[in-house]
Amino acid sequence: MRSSDRRPRSGRRDAPRSLNVNGTRFRCFEQELDAKVVVRCVRQPD
């Protein structure tokens, strides 16, 4: 992961977000579980 893709952790929710890895687009969203925050990404169809 490039450092430019990482965002500083903040209190506000900025999901859903889009991610681009090697030209493949993903849609990512956060989900809070207990004491963890899980980020799930789903590949976008071309």
Helix (H, G, I), strand (E, B) or coil at 37: strand
pLDDT at residue 12, as a whole number: 54
Q: d(Cα 17, Cα 35) in Å, to the nearest integer?
A: 22
Per residue in 1-46, pLDDT (tens digit) is 555 555 555 555 555 588 888 999 999 888 899 999 998 899 988 7
Helix (H, G, I), strand (E, B) or coil at 28: strand
pLDDT at residue 17, as a whole number: 81
pLDDT at residue 24, as a whole number: 92
Global model pTM greater than 0.85: no
